[in-house]
Amino acid sequence: MRRIGGWLLGGGMGLLLMGMAIGSLAGPGPRALAQAQVTATPRPDGSIVHTVEEGDTLFGLALLYGTTVEEIKALNGLDSDLLVVGQELLIRPPQRGPESPASTPTPPPAERRPGTLCTGAFEDRNGNETKEEGEPWIAGIPIHLVDGHGWKTMMISEAGQATCVRDLEPGYYALAVENPTGYSLSGPARREIWLSWGAETTLLFGFQPSAGLATPTPSPTRLPSAPAGSDLSALGQGLLMAAGFLGLLLAGVFIGYQVGQRRARGR
């Protein structure tokens, strides 16, 4: 009898331990399941996040939400079945449907378009280095463009519009202008700028007429000439006076010669 009683007692203990093991594998009890339903409220985007309570297991949560242990582990990046109280588990990812507002689309990145740099020359009449209405363009002035890597090109200013260089990569650029004959710069002869993606920038150079070259040199003024008749009259008077003086001189010489001859004969 004692042996039979020991068998019965041992068998009862084994059944009790087996039941406890099966209960632990089957998942949380009614209290844990009820608690899981309370904490797993769907969010506005349609996702379901469960906060782990004491007694929760992945197997039990999979049964509760109608999913699998592998899917829960994949959504949360889990490597093991170990759960921590207070841990948040994503059970269902955000949904796009009538019941949830559509998420705002992410704007595409800014298009990388090459930049454009324009330049030109104008007559800066008021000297403020800004082209205003009524200030004409000046054509034919060489303007040099240099980038930060030493690349160079030359542009020629046009009449009525700016001259542009397109398809420029972003970076540092410098513009330098030559001073034309008859003009002086109203601002610096070199401009520097950083050109970004898709930028369109215009840099103009103002000129003012040079004071020394703008005023024409006056021609020498000739004195009014005397009438032709007056010139002839004066010339005639001079010739007559010279002839009279010469005649008197010749007459004196002739008289002296005659006197000398007479004296020589009387001896």
Evaluate whether residue 183 is within a structural domain.
yes
Instruction: Write down the pLDDT at residue 143.
Output: 94
pLDDT of residue 158: 94
Share of the chain above pLDDT 90, in %: 25
Burial (CB < 10 A; 0-12, 13-18, 19+), residue 257, is exposed
Q: Is the pLDDT of residue 228 over 50?
A: no
Do the domain assignments include residue 158?
A: yes
Residue 122 and residue 45 share a domain? no
Query: How many structural domains is the chain composed of?
Result: 2
| In a shared domain, residues 135 and 87 | no
The share of the chain scoring above pLDDT 70, in percent, equals 67
Q: pLDDT at position 256, please?
A: 74
Residues 136 and 62 in one domain: no
User: Does 235 fall in a domain?
Assistant: no
105 within domain boundaries: no
pLDDT score, position 173: 93
Q: Domain holding 197: CATH number?
A: 2.60.40.10
Residue 7 token pair: 């068998």
The candidate with the shortest Cα–Cα distance to 199, out of 113, 110, 115, 111, is 115
Whether residue 193 has pLDDT greater than 80: yes
Average pLDDT, stretch 83-105?
72
Query: What is the span of the domain harbouring residue 131?
Result: 115-214
Least confident of 34-43, 46-55, 90-99, 183-192: 34-43
Each residue's pLDDT tens digit, 97-138: 555 455 566 655 556 789 999 999 999 999 999 999 999 999
Residue 130 and residue 84 in one domain: no
Region 152-167 average pLDDT: 92
Query: 120 and 87 share a domain?
Result: no
pLDDT score at 153 = 92
Q: Is this structure's pTM higher than 0.85? A: no
Q: What's the chain's average pLDDT?
A: 76
Q: Do residues 78 and 126 both lie within one domain?
A: no
Q: Measure Cα distances from 163 to 51, 110, 121 in Å.
A: 67, 27, 9
Parallel, antiparallel, or unpaired: how do β-strands 115-123 and 200-209 relate? parallel
Has residue 169 been placed in a domain? yes
pLDDT band at 164 (very low <50, low <70, confident <90, very high): very high
pLDDT at 231 exceeding the cut of 70: no
Residues 122 and 209 both lie in one domain: yes
**Does the residue 236 lie in any domain?**
no
Which is more confident, 19 or 187?
187
**78 and 148 co-located in one domain:** no
- The CATH number of whichever domain residue 64 belongs to comes to 3.10.350.10
More confident residue, 261 or 194: 194
pLDDT recorded at residue 135: 94
* 262 falls within a domain: no
